[in-house]
């Protein structure tokens, strides 16, 4: 569906006499068309938006303005109070969101996503003893209690400015504006993916001023997600780390050792913790090795014998999905488990475009837009992922 913005305004002016009200209604309709996908941003002209929401107002006031020669700074107030910034924000928002959603689609599978309304979330867990019990006839069901210990995940705000320049309107550079919007969306996606990778690997992230990783804060204390001994957390050893010198690239033996760490995890009361490994993940430099072993390889080819291979069938082929990222801080470590059981993304707001009507005429910027996100990423447990330090 294509749309002629001037015709849209004309249709609303047939219904209302006030020009500003008609412009507001036209801008809202345009925004709805874009949000619903009925109109593609690339089908809209930035100059047509200017003519519809600023030019018509200047004409109604009898002001002579030619965007080819006149000084835009002279009509900055008219532009700021018009529907032009709102309509332009609606125009660029899909390009930002599309870039973010495409770039992060894989990594987001490793997390559970929730909404947040606080600066810092306290996630309350159930006590380990709170499992269903046998109930005699006519007896009450036992009440589940909440754990006194809570995981804390702090939210952080990130953003980047995006300016609409005079040249974009003068030369009708809609494509350039949308390219910049896509670049802004990719930049937000890159930052979020780095945040995710550093949390998944339990590594301090300097972007938010960390000197020690705060990926897993439990009961008011920071604990290592990957360690040979977690007894300081909940009295259980729960080894989930194959250290450097013992670890290696994926083979049947290395994968068995790593996964068996997960199958050996205990709850706080010492009962088996149900873990079902679904993903293997690590740095993109490991992607070929991970794909080779977990997706393609029928036999264990890395355990040399006099025959050149052990002949062991690869029981792990196709058992787990491989996900990699260039943002993991280590190119050697790889991880196995069900990360969404313990890793969480909490959104105060997802990536969005905010309009700051006041531009900067001295730099020929008509209006400023900000691409921002307010988000927290962290862990609520440690039992569901095991790490292998690699070769």
- Reported as a pLDDT band with limits 50, 70 and 90, residue 302 is low
Q: What is the pTM of this model?
A: 0.88
> What is the mean pLDDT of the segment spanning 305-328?
82
- Reported as a pLDDT band with limits 50, 70 and 90, residue 308 is very low
Give the tens place of pLDDT for each residue, 265-281.
Answer: 999 889 999 999 999 99
- Reported as a pLDDT band with limits 50, 70 and 90, residue 81 is confident
Predicted local distance difference test score (pLDDT) of residue 194: 98
- In the sheet with 156-165, reading across from the earlier edge strand, the strands are 112-115, 343-356, 365-379, 156-165
* Annotated domain spans of the chain: 1-82, 85-130+140-391
Distance CA(189)–CA(218), nearest Å, equals 28
Overall residue count recorded for the chain in this entry: 391
Give the tens place of pLDDT for each residue, 14-53.
Answer: 888 899 999 999 999 999 999 988 989 988 988 899 889 9
What proportion of the chain, given as a percentage, has pLDDT over 90? Answer: 55
Q: What is the distance in angstroms between the CA of the first residue and the CA of the last residue of the chain?
A: 55
> Which is more confident, 388 or 43?
388
Distance CA(311)–CA(67), nearest Å, equals 75
Least confidently predicted of 198-202, 321-325, 349-353: 349-353
- Element (H or E) spanning 321, and its range? strand 321-325
Instruction: Give the DSSP per-residue string, 250-319.
Output: S-HHHHHHHHHHHHT-B-TTSPBP-----EEEEEGGGHHHHHIIIII-SB--SS--TTSS---B-TTTTT
306 has a pLDDT exceeding 50:
no
> What is the mean pLDDT of the segment spanning 168-187?
89
What's the chain's average pLDDT?
88
Predicted local distance difference test score (pLDDT) of residue 262: 98
> What is the mean pLDDT of the segment spanning 165-188?
88
Predicted local distance difference test score (pLDDT) of residue 137: 85
Instruction: Give the DSSP per-residue string, 256-268.
Output: HHHHHHHHT-B-T
Distance CA(84)–CA(90), nearest Å, equals 10
What proportion of the chain, given as a percentage, has pLDDT over 70? Answer: 89
> Which is more confident, 81 or 183?
183
- Reported as a pLDDT band with limits 50, 70 and 90, residue 150 is confident
Domain 85-130+140-391 has CATH 3.90.1690: yes
> What is the mean pLDDT of the segment spanning 197-207?
98
Predicted local distance difference test score (pLDDT) of residue 303: 53
Least confidently predicted of 128-137, 194-203, 251-260, 366-375: 128-137
Predicted local distance difference test score (pLDDT) of residue 110: 98
Instruction: Give the DSSP per-residue string, 162-189.
Output: EEEEHHHHHTT-HHHHHHHHHHHHHHHH
Predicted local distance difference test score (pLDDT) of residue 141: 81
């Amino acid at each position: 569906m294509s749309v002629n913005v001037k015709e849209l305004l004309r249709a609303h002016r047939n219904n209302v006499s006030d020009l500003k009200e008609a412009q507001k209604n036209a801008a809202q309709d345009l925004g709805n068309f874009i949000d619903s996908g009925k109109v593609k941003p690339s089908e809209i002209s930035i100059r047509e938006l200017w003519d519809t929401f600023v030019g018509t107002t200047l004409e109604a006031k009898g002001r002579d303005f030619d965007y080819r020669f006149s000084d835009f700074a002279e009509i900055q107030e008219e532009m700021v109070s018009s529907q032009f910034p709102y309509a332009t924000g609606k125009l660029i928002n899909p390009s930002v969101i599309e870039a973010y959603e495409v770039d992060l689609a894989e990594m987001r599978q490793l997390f559970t996503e929730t909404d947040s309304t606080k600066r810092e979330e306290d996630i309350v867990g159930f006590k380990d003893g709170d499992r269903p019990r046998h109930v005699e006839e006519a007896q009450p069901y036992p009440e589940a209690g909440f754990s006194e210990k809570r995981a804390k995940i702090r939210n952080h705000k990130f953003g980047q400015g995006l300016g609409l320049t005079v040249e974009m309107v003068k030369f009708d550079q809609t494509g350039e504006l949308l390219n910049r919007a896509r670049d802004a969306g990719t930049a937000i996606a890159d930052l979020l993916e780095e945040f995710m990778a550093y949390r998944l690997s339990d590594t301090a992230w300097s972007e938010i001023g960390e000197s020690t990783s705060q990926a897993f804060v439990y009961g008011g204390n920071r604990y290592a997600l990957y360690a040979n001994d977690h007894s300081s957390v909940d009295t259980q050893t729960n080894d989930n780390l194959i250290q450097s010198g013992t670890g290696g690239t994926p083979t049947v033996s290395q994968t068995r050792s790593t996964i068996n760490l997960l199958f050996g995890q205990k709850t706080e009361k010492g009962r088996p913790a149900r873990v079902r490994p679904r993903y293997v993940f690590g740095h993109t430099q490991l992607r070929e090795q991970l794909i080779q072993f977990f997706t393609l390889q029928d036999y264990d080819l890395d355990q040399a014998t006099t025959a050149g291979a052990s002949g062991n069938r690869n029981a792990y082929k196709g058992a787990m999905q491989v996900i990699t990222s260039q943002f993991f801080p280590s190119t050697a470590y790889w991880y196995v488990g069900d990360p969404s059981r313990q890793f969480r993304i909490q959104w105060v707001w997802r990536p969005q475009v905010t309009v700051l009507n006041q531009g900067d005429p001295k730099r020929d910027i008509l209006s400023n837009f900000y691409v921002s996100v307010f988000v927290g990423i962290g862990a609520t447990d440690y039992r569901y992922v095991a790490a292998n330090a690699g070769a």
